[in-house]
Amino acid sequence: MNLSSLLRRRLQWLNLPTLSLLALLQRTPVLQVAATVERLVISSPVGTVLRSAATVAALGALHSRAGATELVTNVDSPLKATVGTPIPSVAFGLTGTQTSPVQWQIGGTLPPGLDINGRTNLGSFVTGNPVLSGTPTKAGSYTLDLVGEDGGFVSPSFTYTIDVSAGSGVTAPAFTTQPQSQTVNTGANVTFTAAASGSPTFQWQKGGVAISGATNSTLTLTSVTTTNAGTYTVVATNSAGAVTSSSAVLTVNTPQGAAPAITVQPLSQTVAPGGAVTFSVTATGTSPTYQWRKNGTAIAGATASTLSLTNLQSGNAADYTVVVTTTGGSVTSRFARLVVAASDPGRIANLSVRAPTGVAGQSLTVGFIMSGGSKQLLIRASGPTLGALGVPGTILDPILEVHQKINGQDTIVKSNNDWGNDPAVAAIPGPFPFLPNSKDSAMLLNVDSDRTALVSNGAGTVGVTLVEVYDVGTGNTPRLVNVSTLNFSGTGDNVLIAGFIISGNTPKTLLVRGVGPTLSSFGVGGLLADPVMEIHAKDSNNQDVVFAANDNWGDEPNAAAAAAIPGPFALNAGSKDAALLITLPAGAYTVQVAGANQTTGNALIEVYDIQ
C-alpha cells in the first residue's frame, strides 16, 4: 500500500494518527473479519464481575473422577430457582481433559429471563467458561445440553437442569396503562406505551402477529408510512399467566406537499443561573408551524421558530426539541441540552473501541494525538476481564504496543503484556477494574503528539478486545484533539463502533467522520463502499437515541464548512464517505459506521476536536 509521490507531498505536513494508522497497515494488512462484536459499552459495565468464573479450579471439582471427562460447576444440578428472584451465577467447565475448552455448543431450553454470557440464544459460544445468570420470569423445568471443545477434542454431551417455581403471591399481569390510538402524517414518529402489574415481560403485536424485537413496555415507530397503519396490541406475561391489552389503531395520513427538513438545528447551551437562553431552528417547507418540547412534553404557547427562556433556574435544565410541521408532514429536531450552571469547558476525555483481533496476525489499531504539550494517558487493552463481564469470544492474552514515528522510523515507545496489578493503573478512577492477576494489558504514558496503539493476541487465537484511551490529567491544555480507529465493519452487531466522552458541562464542536471510499487514495483495499454513520447518545430519559446521522457527507447543509477545516485529509468530491460537523453537549457518545444495504468492508472512524 504505497502512497503516490503526489499524495505524500500533499499529506506530508499532516501530523495525524490517521497517517500512522495507514502506515501501520503496511505491516499488518487489514482483513475482513467475521466475528461476533456486541455494542460498545463506554461507561462502567452494569453487573457483577464473576471473579470465580475464570478457571475450572475456582468452580470446584464437583463430580470429578480420575481419567474421566466431567462437567464441573459451582452450583449442583438441578438448580432450584424462583420466578422474580435472581439466580446465583453458574459457571461451567470441564475436568479430565488435557486442555481446557475454548468453545462450547449449548442446546436445550434456556429459562426466560436467564442468559449465558449475556446471550439469550443458544448455540456456539467461543469462551472457556460459559456463565449462566439472570432472573427467571416463567416457572417450569428446563434442561441445557453442553458440549465443550478445544479444537481437537469434543467432549460428551452433559445435561444441566434448572427447575423454576412460581413462588408465592404471583398473580397474572393486569394492565394499568393501555396503548392509545393515534392519527399521524407520513414521516412522523409514533410511540405506543403500556404498563402492567406483576413484573411481566412484553411482546407487541400488529394485527395479532408478534413484532420481532418489540419486547419493551413502549413501542416506537420512526418515519412511519402507510404500511405502518394497523391495529397494535401488547401481550404482558409472567409465570402466572398472560393478558393482551386493548387495541390501539394507528392511522397514517398522506398529506400533499413535501415534508419539511431542518437545515439549522437548535444547539445545546450552558448558562449560569439567572441568565437567559434562546434556541432557534431553521427549516424548509411551505408555511411551517412549530411546537417546542421540554423532555418530550409540549410547552404551552411555544409555537415560534425560536424559544427564549429568562431567569434560568435548575428546573429549566432539560433537553429541548422542536417539531416542525407542514402539509407534507412533520420532523423533530435533535435535542438541545440546556445546562443551568457555571460554565466548565471540557475535552475529549476517553476513546473506546471494541473489535476482533488476532485473525491472521491482524492487530486492532487505534490512533490519537495530543496538542499543546505533554499529558499523561491511561491506555488499556482488556480481554479476560471483558469475558468475565459476560462478553463472549474475548481475547485471551492481549499484548499492547504504542508506536511513534521517530526520525522517520516506526518505533515501539512502550509495550505491556499482563498489567500485573500495577497500583498506579488500579488507582485511576473511572474505568471498570481489571480482575486481579489477569492477562489484560495497561500502561500510563506521557504523550505530546501523535501515537498509535496496536493490540495483538499473545495466545495466537481470534478474540474480541476493548481498547481504551483515557485522559487522566487535568485542564484542557494540552488535550486530545483527534482520536481514530481503522477496522472492518460487518453487519448487525459486527458494525464498526467507537465511543468517546466529552468532559465538563459545556457543548463542544467536533468533526466526526466515517471514511471508506476516500481511503482508496491511500492504497487501502476491501473498503466499505457507502458508509452510513450514526452518533448515538442518551437523552434526558436515559434512552438511547440517534442524535445525528449521515449517509453522504456532501448532503449536509454545512458540508462546505466541514471541508474547509484545516488538518483532516480531504474527502473526495462527491464520495459516499460520511461526515458531520456537529456541536454536542458534554456526555458519552457512540459512533457506529455500517454499510448501506448490508454491505461490509474496511472503514475509518475519526473524531476531531476543532474548538
74: left (phi over 0), alpha (psi -120 to 50) or beta: alpha
SS3 3: coil
Distance from C-alpha of 578 to C-alpha of 552, rounded to nearest angstrom: 5
Question: What is the pairing mode between strands 269-271 and 336-340?
Answer: parallel
DSSP category for residue 46:
P
Q: What is the reported pLDDT for 10?
A: 24
Specify whether the CB–CB gap between 268 and 507 falls below 8 A.
Answer: yes
Residue 86's CB is within 10 A of a number of other CB atoms, namely: 14
Site of grid cell 470446584: 60
Could you tell me if residue 451 is left (phi over 0), alpha (psi between -120 and 50 degrees) or otherwise beta? beta
What SS3 class is residue 316? helix
- Supply the pLDDT for residue 4: 30
* Lookup: cell for 52: 470465580
Number of alpha carbons in the 13 Å side-chain half-sphere of residue 249: 3
Determine the Cα–Cα distance for residues 460 and 397; give it in Å rounded to an integer.
Answer: 9
The pairing of beta strand 348-357 with beta strand 364-371: unpaired
Q: Retrieve residue 15's grid coordinates.
A: 501530523
Superfamily of domain 52-165: Immunoglobulins (2.60.40.10)
Q: Which grid coordinates belong to 403?
A: 508506536
Following CA atoms 128, 461, 467, 481 in sequence, which dihedral angle do they give, to the nearest 10 degrees? -170
Residues in CB range of 293: below 8 A, 6 or more apart:
299, 320, 321, 322, 323
Residue 164 class from Cβ within 10 Å (0-12 exposed, 13-18 middle, 19+ buried)?
buried
**Which pLDDT value is given to residue 358?**
67
Distance of alpha carbon 455 from alpha carbon 402, whole angstroms: 9
Which letter, b or e, does each residue of 407-423 get, where b requires 16 or more Cβ atoms within 10 Å of its Cβ? eeeeeeebebebbeeee
CA dihedral of residues 438, 444, 450, 451 (deg, nearest 10):
-30
Separation of alpha carbons 388 and 308, rounded Å? 50
CATH 2.60.40.10 range(s) for the chain read 52-165, 175-253, 273-340
Structural class in CATH, domain 175-253? mainly beta
Question: Which residue has cell 484545516?
Answer: 566
Divide the 611 residues of the chain into consecutive groups of 10 and give the mean pLDDT of each group: 28 33 34 24 25 27 48 92 88 84 91 90 89 88 92 86 80 90 89 90 93 90 89 90 92 79 95 97 91 96 97 96 90 96 95 78 86 95 92 90 93 95 90 93 95 87 88 92 89 86 96 96 90 93 90 92 93 94 96 92 93 75
- Measured between alpha carbons, how far is 193 from 221 in angstroms, rounded to an integer? 12
Could you tell me which CATH number the domain at 273-340 has? 2.60.40.10
d(CA 305, CA 333): 12
Q: What's the gap between Cα 147 and its chain centre?
A: 31
* Residue 408 near residue 331 (C-beta atoms within 8 A): no
Q: What's residue 390's pLDDT?
A: 87
Whole-angstrom Cα distance, residue 185 to residue 80?
A: 52
d(CA 470, CA 376): 9
CB 444 within 8 A of CB 425: yes
Which amino acid does the sequence have at 17? P
Please give the grid coordinates belonging to residue 73: 460447576
Contact between 604 and 485 under an 8 Å Cβ cutoff? The reply is yes
pLDDT of residue 590: 95
- Residue 188 C-alpha cell reads as 412522523
Question: Among the residues of 411-481, which ranges form H helices?
Answer: 423-426
How many Cα atoms occupy the beta-carbon half-sphere of 142 within 13 Å?
Answer: 23
432 secondary structure, DSSP code: P
Cell output for 280: 432557534
Angle at the Cα of 496 (from 228 to 592), degrees rounded to 5?
45
